[in-house]
Structure 1
Amino acid sequence: MDECMRCILLHPFTLMQNMHQMNLGHSNAMIISRPTFKGYVRMLSGYYLAARQIEFLVGGSFTSSLEDPLGIAQHHDAVSGTAKQHTTDDYSKRLALGASQVEKGVNTALACLTSSKGTCMSPAVKFSQCQLLNISYCPSTEEQISGGKGLVITAYNPLGWEHSDFIRVPVNDLHLVVKSSDGSFVDSQLVEVDNVTSNLRKLYVKAYLGINTDKPPKYWLVFQASVPPMGWNTYFVSKPKGAGSNRMGYVSTIASPSKDTVEVGPGSLKMTFSSASGQLTRMFNSITGVDLPIQQSFLWYGSNNGDGADSQASGAYIFRPDGSTPTVVSRSVPLKVIRGPLVDEVHQQFSPWIYQVTRLYKDKEHAEVEYTIGPIPVNDGIGKEVITRLTANMVTNHTFYTDSNGRDFLKRVRDYREDWDLQVTQPVAGNYYPVNLGMYVTDGKYELSVLVDRAVGASSIQDGQIEMMFHRRILHDDGRGVEEPLDETVCVDRKCDGLVARGTYYVNVNKLGHGAHWRRTQGQKVYSPFLLGFAHEDESSWKSYSVVKASMMNANYSLPDNVAIITLQSLDDGTALLRLAHLFQAAEDPQYSVMAKVELKKLFGKKTIKEWTETNLSANQKKAAMRKLKWRVVGDTESGPAPITGSPVDSQSLVVELGPMEIRTFLLKL
């Protein structure tokens, strides 16, 4: 009973009192409420994971100031979005203060880590970071680059595999070149910063930092970086020197639609948009041969205000639309297309309060979609719950798949529960599920997959559809304990307006049975992006005292694609906590749903493992001492093969085996 378990785990309000609401299926709004806070927690969780790795590599202790507020944020009324506004503000404040302290520690640790002297006594460089890159605020990169010192970007990769991805930083110079750590030029592209981002920057930098920023940066500098597993690489941005040195930099062009349709995408993945309506019509991949008619739109459900026969209103706990058909925001969308060799962008203004940018990068098998929603207008007296809907030409037989806690993908059947006879009274809310990693639909030919950057509520209300809720602004309390409407605002200079939510989701189309590898590996990249450090120095000076590229692992070693490091942390007693996780379910993928092997001796490069102990998941009991209870469930006739698990670790080879979905935990002395 997914709805019941979600409510029990997220909030202990009286179960029997609310059992009928759970059966109706609409007591699940906490999976949607406060999307910006959910995004902040997710972003800082990934940042914390990378910071702990860096802390492990250099020694010392500087991450506990973020560990505590992240732990507090897991309270059932915190990240769930069901706390009062002033309490949520306090959670956010604690997170911001903790992140600020960790940022200082990471800046110092990066200088130590990259020092060619191998010491932290007196690092020769001072790094800075930019936590507001999503709204184009980064003082380090916006500085005018002189002929002397250039911009140095060090990218740390917390993943166990080499990670190739695009870096975007705001700049003001038109003529710039990018060089990699080996001295070779790297293709780059300049994209103008759009007005929506500039306005967001001005408002929210003032709100967060109290700083007036009247001069936004002119461009995004975009280039592709490749970073070794659990290591770093350095890139140098400077003015061109000498003839021909600017040949690797390109300024984007704005294309005017001249045909009935506009095709975008610099690589094998293409998207087609209607010139007349501005709407998406098709996705096509020339390598896989997938060609899928697909539309995307924004809509909103009117929130139930509780004045009908059933007095239950929509609110922080309860998602209960008013029963009417959701309102389409716009059927005709102004379209702006920006083209370049690395990325094509499609900018769509769905309404004065919904803006979207779709990016197709070279060599990427997915589209990256950035949405900006808000302030949601409520002057008509109607609360609004905003969704995006992808509609593909697919027959999916009422079935879709959503992740469970970012791990297993579970089969969902619309208007159906395996455990009991469901009486459908809420056909929309009753089919909403929490999505932390992503969801997908399939037919006999294709898979349409979506990954998210934060927890959202999602469903497939009609065959071939993927529906995700990104923002809510509600004018009535649902009577479940918050005692205030879910009406988030931001106030600057005593002027308050509705909260703006900016986030990203990722769309992939693939042949049937071939989408799992993308969902699993790209999901890790979304959760653990590059950690970027910025400095100013000329290239030759930097290389004289810095290691510009390295990995903590042995040369040419990386984890297999089906394994991730989910914890690497120094503990107070001098040991290291290591957790390895198999990313695939049994039978999910013919190539990757198999036994995986990790060589611990190669995982830590020059460090030698002196002692090791395998423990339970919580690392508070030796695995050898565990005695699991074997449950016998009355009426359970389900039988099947036992899960595949890894063998005990050999003390000589130190090779760890992991079966599908297995997590193994170790305490190490190095």
Structure 2
Amino acid sequence: MAGFQDPWFICRCDFYFEVNDKSPVVQDDPLLFDYNVQERVNDFVAAAVSQANITRTNHIMFTMGTDFKYQYANSWFRQMDKFIHYVNMDGRVNVLYSTPSIYTDAKYAANETWPLKLDDFFPYADRTNAYWTGYFTSRPALKGYVRVLSGYYLAARQLEFLMGRNSLGLTTDSLADALAIAQHHDAITGTEKQHVANDYAKRLAIGYAETEKLVGSSLACLTESVSYSQCDNSETKFEQCPLLNISYCPPSEVDLSHGKSLAVLVYNSLGWKRVDVIRLPVISESIVVTDYEGREIESQIFPITSAAVDLRNSYVTAYLGISPSVTPKFWLAFPVDVPSLGFTTYFISSRKLAGSKTAMSTQYSSQEIQNSNTLEIGQGNLKLQFATDEGMLFRYFNNRSLVETSINQSFCYYSGYEYDASGANPQASGAYVFRPNGTFPIAPDRQVPLTVMRGPILEEIHQQINPWIYQITRVYKKKEHVEVEFIVGPIPTNDGIGKELATQIMTTMTTNKTFYTDSNGRDFIKRIRNYRTDWELQVNQPVAGNYYPINLGIYIEDDNTELSVLVDRSVGGSSLLDGQVELMLHRRLLHDDGRGVAEKLDEVVCVNDQCEGLMIQGKFYLRVDPSGEGAKWRRSTGQEIYSPLILAFSQQDSGSWTKSHVPTFSMADASYSLPDNVALVTLQALEDGSVLLRLAHLYEAGEDKELSMMAEVDLNKLFAGRKILKLSEMSLTANQARDEMEKKRLKWRVEGLASTTAPVRGGPVDPSKLVVELGPMEIRTFTINFDHMLPKINTEKKA
């Protein structure tokens, strides 16, 4: 049918019609010496036949346009009009202007039987040695920023719904717009020029600043014993800490020695109760943490490292244009217990209590241990035992599951291929393309001892791997996974070589070339090293050609165990050896890869006109489970990583808060939470007064023996205190009613489908019961109309 093929096909066949393109135009005046109608018709017919020979049915589509093309419509349509006219006169091929809908209808009308493709097209290359797998990691700071603000936006929309859209004169629209723009394929991928990346980040920062006001005002209103109509006059003022990831949080870095206390409101955007640990920078070790009933909470104090302070001081200045006036000396960590879709309040003060539960961490280095070459951390079920004389090798043991294995984590960098203008090497490693020119292991600096921090809540081992890689391996007493925090950069390039940093996690598992990576955080796709399901792969890039995008996580398994790794932002990764998982953490390259950026991927940060390469602070999470039992951790912890707790701070006179504020709140019924296998994806107040609700089943069929089952959500209990007048099920994008969509849905004939089991799907919602069913991996979208948008707040005060 109409139009033109993909960009690389067009280049070969000369069907580009921009004003200055070299493609021959149709010269249809016989008096011209370059009259070429038949030649151009033959070229077009040959291209069509070539495409048709590998396409089912006699309908094909040539897609039109690509990057930097189709900027001048007149030159394109003038030539396409001529092609359509003369090719149809020729008669061998019929050409018409089309749309995706017309094309799809024509394919459907052919009554063909179609193969079912269950995997994706990753990784892909446009030519030999040019795999587009570098952009899975390019611009990791921007990727992390988008991830953090996406979770924040989800929580902010919940609060906007609770308060009523526009009731505070604030909305989440600015952040919504910035996040939408950042989803452009040249934004989140990192394949834009640096000044464009800066523009995306600026828009995100502006959107966050406006949404932060809404979040603070909403929480103030929810916690004050006032009616919604008085929320614009709330006396409580909350501050938040968007730079907490680099140890900067001015509200917690205050002097509480003069009878003041710090109220810490902790909001949970997940649909189930959450028990977690929060960490805040503080200036004093004389601190006590209490809950809203006055009971002291066990807490832990440990020193902030110089690596964290250096990162903080440099990047606060770069981001805010100010130098921090205070340098905190400690981290304060304490556990929190927060209801679903609600908040709980805790208090930090300097009061001295008899038998205080605030513990100061013990700290020592590996050099201080006499007659021992091992270090062990872990107060709960999970214990890690490090071999101090063997780099980063540790023994992993879980007392509950009885899983025991050895894990060797290491770092390496790939040197990026350089561009050779002579043509000997036309393909460099760049923003798009990952083309390694050698692998270089990074040996840990044995001269720098390990540092151990012990305490009742969490324990850590700190390692200075080399001058530009610092790592903390952290274990929480009440969690059964390893949290690895890293600070990477600036990646040195003074040797003239671009570098792409990766970490490898090596086990003794027998994985038979197989590993699994997520698809957009949903289903996991089976990957086999050096293999494609659709064709016989010729391996010319054994590293880059086996890299895949990782948005949620990656795992490997054998007959006995499975190793899962979750990430805090999108990265590239693989399993290049049996029993191994690899993640690429950062890239800094010195050449453009020729895919349109026209700029090297060399991010720098400037402070007082002094510029150096970008540093990245991030985390990944690791756990080993008995075979077949890792899905629950991947799904539940994955939700917690994506939707971190929202913290808001307000300094108050000690003891006065609970007399005038609601200390804990939940949107849902007190006895209700979402099932463990269901996530609340969207809760958004719309401009027309209705509410958009999306619920998603988190598990694939057969993924977990208990949780891959039909789930039920009781909307009456989820929206406690609100009466639902109307519930309408919509398409996934909510642009049409589901029943109308189903009438138009095409029922395709699929090869072998008759012998397969249809997926389990939830049934229609009974309006008298308002219980939503969800089958494995199902997402259901509804619009809801309530009888009133603003339920009464529980205004009980503590006596």
TM-score scaled by structure 2?
0.80
Name the stretch that deviates more: 261-270 or 119-128: 119-128
SS at match of 1:41: helix
Specify the alignment match of 1:452 in structure 2. 567
SS at match of 1:502: strand
SS at match of 1:610: strand
Q: How far has the Cα of 1:107 moved from its partner? A: 0.9
Q: How far has the Cα of 1:196 moved from its partner? A: 0.7
Verify: 1:72 aligned to 2:181, yes or no: yes
Name the stretch that deviates more: 175-184 or 311-320: 175-184
Specify the alignment match of 1:326 in structure 2. 440
Confirm or deny: 8 A CA contact 1:334 1:350 kept in the other structure.
Answer: no
SS at match of 2:135: helix
Specify the alignment match of 1:570 in structure 2. 685
Correspondence 1:157-556 to 2 at 5 A: 157-213=268-324, 215-244=326-355, 247-257=356-366, 258=369, 259-307=372-420, 309-322=424-437, 324-330=438-444, 332=446, 334-556=449-671
Confirm or deny: 8 A CA contact 1:178 1:238 kept in the other structure.
Answer: yes
Assess, with a 3 A threshold, how the Cα gap between structure 1 residues 20 and 60 changes in structure 2: closer, same or farther.
closer
Specify the alignment match of 2:145 in structure 1. 40
Specify the alignment match of 2:220 in structure 1. 111
Correspondence 1:115-126 to 2 at 5 A: 115-119=224-228, 120-126=231-237
Structure 2: unaligned runs, 5 residues or longer? 1-7, 9-62, 70-122, 787-799
Specify the alignment match of 1:84 in structure 2. 193
Assess, with a 3 A threshold, how the Cα gap between structure 1 residues 140 and 466 changes in structure 2: closer, same or farther.
same
Assess, with a 3 A threshold, how the Cα gap between structure 1 residues 23 and 417 changes in structure 2: closer, same or farther.
farther
Specify the alignment match of 2:109 in structure 1. none
Confirm or deny: 8 A CA contact 1:263 1:271 kept in the other structure.
Answer: yes
Assess, with a 3 A threshold, how the Cα gap between structure 1 residues 38 and 252 changes in structure 2: closer, same or farther.
same
In structure 1, what is the Cα distance between the partners aligned to 2:467 and 2:754?
53
Confirm or deny: 8 A CA contact 1:278 1:348 kept in the other structure.
Answer: no
Specify the alignment match of 2:778 in structure 1. 662
In structure 2, what is the Cα distance between the partners aligned to 1:330 and 1:233?
43
Confirm or deny: 8 A CA contact 1:453 1:504 kept in the other structure.
Answer: yes
Assess, with a 3 A threshold, how the Cα gap between structure 1 residues 649 and 460 changes in structure 2: closer, same or farther.
same
SS at match of 1:612: strand
Question: How many equivalent pairs are there?
Answer: 656
Q: How far has the Cα of 1:632 moved from its partner? A: 3.2
Confirm or deny: 8 A CA contact 1:24 1:424 kept in the other structure.
Answer: no
Assess, with a 3 A threshold, how the Cα gap between structure 1 residues 241 and 328 changes in structure 2: closer, same or farther.
closer
In structure 2, what is the Cα distance between the partners aligned to 1:313 and 1:638?
48
Question: Alignment RMSD, CA only?
Answer: 1.9
In structure 1, what is the Cα distance between the partners aligned to 2:130 and 2:696?
33
SS at match of 2:150: helix
Confirm or deny: 8 A CA contact 1:202 1:214 kept in the other structure.
Answer: no
Deviation string, structure 1 residues 500-534 (Cα, Å, up to 9, x no partner): 01111000110001100000000000000111100
Verify: 1:26 aligned to 2:128, yes or no: no
Amino acid at match of 1:367: V
Q: How far has the Cα of 1:358 moved from its partner? A: 1.0
Q: How far has the Cα of 1:610 moved from its partner? A: 1.2
Specify the alignment match of 1:127 in structure 2. 238
Q: How far has the Cα of 1:123 moved from its partner? A: 1.3
Question: Structure 1 residue aligned with 2:762, among 622, 643, 646?
Answer: 646
Deviation string, structure 1 residues 115-151 (Cα, Å, up to 9, x no partner): 1223314212100000000111111100101342201
Confirm or deny: 8 A CA contact 1:252 1:338 kept in the other structure.
Answer: yes
Confirm or deny: 8 A CA contact 1:360 1:367 kept in the other structure.
Answer: yes
Q: How far has the Cα of 1:329 moved from its partner? A: 4.3
Q: How far has the Cα of 1:184 moved from its partner? A: 1.3
Amino acid at match of 1:30: Y
Confirm or deny: 8 A CA contact 2:412 2:439 kept in the other structure.
Answer: no
Confirm or deny: 8 A CA contact 2:165 2:687 kept in the other structure.
Answer: no
SS at match of 2:161: helix
Deviation string, structure 1 residues 355-394 (Cα, Å, up to 9, x no partner): 0111101110111111110000000111000000000111
Assess, with a 3 A threshold, how the Cα gap between structure 1 residues 238 and 12 changes in structure 2: closer, same or farther.
farther
Q: How far has the Cα of 1:261 moved from its partner? A: 1.0
Q: How far has the Cα of 1:23 moved from its partner? A: 6.5
Confirm or deny: 8 A CA contact 1:117 1:545 kept in the other structure.
Answer: no
In structure 1, what is the Cα distance between the partners aligned to 2:68 and 2:195?
24
Assess, with a 3 A threshold, how the Cα gap between structure 1 residues 650 and 20 changes in structure 2: closer, same or farther.
closer
Confirm or deny: 8 A CA contact 1:614 1:666 kept in the other structure.
Answer: yes
Q: How far has the Cα of 1:111 moved from its partner? A: 0.4
Specify the alignment match of 1:631 in structure 2. 748
Q: How far has the Cα of 1:544 moved from its partner? A: 1.5
Q: How far has the Cα of 1:213 moved from its partner? A: 2.0
Assess, with a 3 A threshold, how the Cα gap between structure 1 residues 20 and 224 changes in structure 2: closer, same or farther.
closer
Q: How far has the Cα of 1:629 moved from its partner? A: 1.5
- Quick check: which has more Rg, 1 or 2? 2
Deviation string, structure 1 residues 304-344 (Cα, Å, up to 9, x no partner): 1133744100000100001x233324374631111001010
Confirm or deny: 8 A CA contact 2:165 2:686 kept in the other structure.
Answer: no
Amino acid at match of 1:88: A
TM-score scaled by structure 1?
0.95
Confirm or deny: 8 A CA contact 1:383 1:473 kept in the other structure.
Answer: yes
Confirm or deny: 8 A CA contact 1:271 1:280 kept in the other structure.
Answer: no
Q: How far has the Cα of 1:241 moved from its partner? A: 4.0
Assess, with a 3 A threshold, how the Cα gap between structure 1 residues 22 and 399 changes in structure 2: closer, same or farther.
farther
Amino acid at match of 1:128: E
Confirm or deny: 8 A CA contact 1:23 1:422 kept in the other structure.
Answer: no
Question: Structure 2 residue aligned with 1:50, among 152, 155, 164?
Answer: 155
Name the stretch that deviates more: 373-382 or 102-111: 102-111
Amino acid at match of 1:441: I
Verify: 1:94 aligned to 2:203, yes or no: yes
In structure 2, what is the Cα distance between the partners aligned to 1:152 and 1:92?
31
In structure 1, what is the Cα distance between the partners aligned to 2:165 and 2:775?
34
Q: How far has the Cα of 1:212 moved from its partner? A: 1.2
Deviation string, structure 1 residues 193-212 (Cα, Å, up to 9, x no partner): 10011011111111111111
Confirm or deny: 8 A CA contact 1:278 1:334 kept in the other structure.
Answer: no
Name the stretch that deviates more: 214-223 or 133-142: 214-223
In structure 1, what is the Cα distance between the partners aligned to 2:399 and 2:161?
43
Q: How far has the Cα of 1:243 moved from its partner? A: 3.1
Identity percentage of aligned residues: 53
Assess, with a 3 A threshold, how the Cα gap between structure 1 residues 404 and 639 changes in structure 2: closer, same or farther.
farther
SS at match of 1:506: strand
Verify: 1:582 aligned to 2:697, yes or no: yes
SS at match of 2:240: coil
In structure 2, what is the Cα distance between the partners aligned to 1:201 and 1:100?
20
SS at match of 2:536: coil
In structure 2, what is the Cα distance between the partners aligned to 1:31 and 1:153?
36
Specify the alignment match of 1:607 in structure 2. 722
Question: Structure 1 residue aligned with 2:706, among 578, 587, 591?
Answer: 591
In structure 1, what is the Cα distance between the partners aligned to 2:652 and 2:337?
21
In structure 2, what is the Cα distance between the partners aligned to 1:14 and 1:328?
40
Confirm or deny: 8 A CA contact 2:238 2:649 kept in the other structure.
Answer: yes
